[in-house]
Structure 1
Amino acid sequence: MRNVPDSLDPTVVAEIDARLAGVQAAHGVAVPWAIESGSRAWGFPSPDSDYDCRFVYVRQPDAYLSLWPERDVIETPLDAVFDVNGWDLGKAVRLAVNGNATVGEWLRSPIVYSGDEGFRDRALALLAAVADRGRIGRHHLHVALRQQERQTTLKRFFYVLRPATTLRWLREHPDSALPPMDLPTLVQETSVPTRVRDAVTDLIEVKAVTRELGTGSAPDVLERFVADELDRAAAFDDLPPRGPSDEARARADDFFRGELARLTR
């Protein structure tokens, strides 16, 4: 599957496609999932936003039997436009089972360069079965708090606003631990007040045409919204820490072995 909006620069997209093909050829890996992350996929790009392609890859089975395993990350040259790198499937699954929310976000990215829809659906089913809402909530809470400490520009406020809205989504969807990746969908799927919804839309529209938003403050209505959501989500820090269950580990092993067999036939 592929879902690349017309708003993306076709020349840049072609280079990303070329890099992904080069990774597969140079490293002998399969890439079942390659998406855009960062502000473009999060729903609030600027005219000068770079491209953050992320992918999941699988090596040949023998590579996982070596006493000297290869790195579980593949990177391509980083520059002002391109940030293209990926994780080995084993790394991605281990992190996801241990509460890292990044893999779930990648699987729900609205921008897909190339993807095996069956792989995505099976991976989402795994995460739905093993994801720990407490760890996912704690992840987003601490992302927001770290970004809040670093916030020096209105542009960076979005990096607090998105996880705060994700925490709202988790509170309103108590049976799910897999929130949408992009801010507009998060807002749409939550009962945020109309004034908050309108302020988010207005700020996204300004960012879309402005290279630098400057050091001004966010609208008061959004500052209050963020503060309230982070205060409500503080309870995630009170949950007792726990590792993945034996059942979750077994499910993860089964998923990994199954995908390794499918992708390396």
Structure 2
Amino acid sequence: MMVERASLSDRLPSSFSPEAVVSIRQRLDLAREQDVSILFAIESGSRAWGFPSPDSDYDCRFVYACGMRRHLVLTQPRDVIEFPIEGEIDAGGWDLRKALLLALGGNAVVVEWVKSPIVYEEIHGFRQSLVEILDQVVDPIKVAQHYLGLARSHVARLGHFSGDVNLKKLFYLIRPIVALDWMEQRHFAALPPMALPDCLFETELPIATTQAIRDLIDRKAKTREMGTGPIPAPIASYVERRYAHHEKNIPDMRNDGADLALRHQLAEDFYRQTIERLG
């Protein structure tokens, strides 16, 4: 399989530090020394979610697969590869089996990774093939439950919708609420984009809310430390109202054994075919 490495001049943002990219690729090479194939490596976190700060960390995430030989053992290897966080670099990855099993359970992380707009490298065509299989095996209602869980945890951390809050962390509540609105407007039949600006563009929201969120994104892009402050009124009203709505109106998860078995079989076939191609 041919590995494509993104170059700074075309697929990575011009704002990316060349030194940071070199450090990330060194970690990817170290991962390969563990006898694995990296299927794709992307940027996650605020840079890929569309609300970076000037000093945002680099969050490289990758999905890898072990070759056939490493499957023919009694003790399976760990299903994660992790590196210590050093300076502004945070890199780690999941085995493809782990990624698929979590996706089947409704974890939205790999669904987001595969749609990241910032790619360090990939095996040619793999991300598109993974997008296609995820569309078949991932239950959007389970993903909606995942986003509701994220929203619930960040509401608990904020503690209130009035008074001063950490404005930087406010984005981690806004993002899942907008994603839930995007999904609801499509009858929970599709998976949302990764980047918050894309979700905003494709979701019908009050004009004042959309503008307030975009203003906050612009503000975060220009300052290293947003500090604390009151939630802008259109955003406070929106997140409080829509969070309460989704708490009561997320569809119940399906309990169709035949459907679950089919999704699992499709994911397993994809996994097996990937491993066989790698050899």
Fold-level similarity (TM above 0.5): yes
Structure 2 counterpart of 1:5:
13
State the SS of the aligned residue for 1:207. helix
The answer to whether the aligner puts 1:132 opposite 2:139 as a matched pair is yes
1:76-91 mapped onto 2 (5 Å cutoff): 76-91=83-98
Amino acid aligned to 2:19: T
State the SS of the aligned residue for 1:115. strand
Amino acid aligned to 2:152: L
* Residue 174 to residue 240, structure 1, CA distance change in 2 (3 Å): closer
Equivalent residue in structure 2 for 1:149, among 120, 134, 156: 156
1:189-208 mapped onto 2 (5 Å cutoff): 189-208=202-221
State the SS of the aligned residue for 1:140. helix
* Residue 117 to residue 220, structure 1, CA distance change in 2 (3 Å): farther
CA deviations 1:24-77 (Å, max 9, x no partner) are 1x2011111100000111111112211110000011112223211111000112
Moved more, 2-11 or 132-141: 2-11
Q: Identity of aligned pairs, percent?
A: 41
State the SS of the aligned residue for 1:232. helix
- Partners of 1:236 and 1:68 in 2: CA distance: 44
Structure 1 residue 239 displacement after superposition: 1.3
Give the length in aligned residue pairs: 263
Structure 2 counterpart of 1:254:
269
Structure 2 counterpart of 1:62:
69
- Partners of 1:225 and 1:21 in 2: CA distance: 44
- Partners of 1:212 and 1:173 in 2: CA distance: 36
The answer to whether the aligner puts 1:171 opposite 2:184 as a matched pair is yes
Alignment TM-score, normalising by the size of structure 1: 0.94
Moved more, 188-197 or 81-90: 188-197
State the SS of the aligned residue for 1:245. helix
More helix by share: 1
CA deviations 1:78-109 (Å, max 9, x no partner) are 12311100000000001001111111000111
- Partners of 1:15 and 1:53 in 2: CA distance: 10
Amino acid aligned to 1:260: I
- Partners of 2:25 and 2:220 in 1: CA distance: 27
The answer to whether the aligner puts 1:119 opposite 2:126 as a matched pair is yes
Alignment TM-score, normalising by the size of structure 2: 0.89
Q: CA RMSD in A?
A: 1.7
Moved more, 249-258 or 145-154: 145-154
Structure 2 counterpart of 1:109:
116
Structure 1 residue 240 displacement after superposition: 4.4
CA contact (8 A) 2:144 2:188 kept: no
State the SS of the aligned residue for 2:84. coil
1:41-60 mapped onto 2 (5 Å cutoff): 41-60=48-67
Structure 1 residue 238 displacement after superposition: 6.1
State the SS of the aligned residue for 1:200. helix
- Partners of 1:194 and 1:254 in 2: CA distance: 45
State the SS of the aligned residue for 2:125. helix
Structure 1 counterpart of 2:42:
35
* Residue 150 to residue 78, structure 1, CA distance change in 2 (3 Å): same
Structure 1 counterpart of 2:240:
227
Structure 1 residue 232 displacement after superposition: 2.2
Moved more, 139-148 or 61-70: 61-70
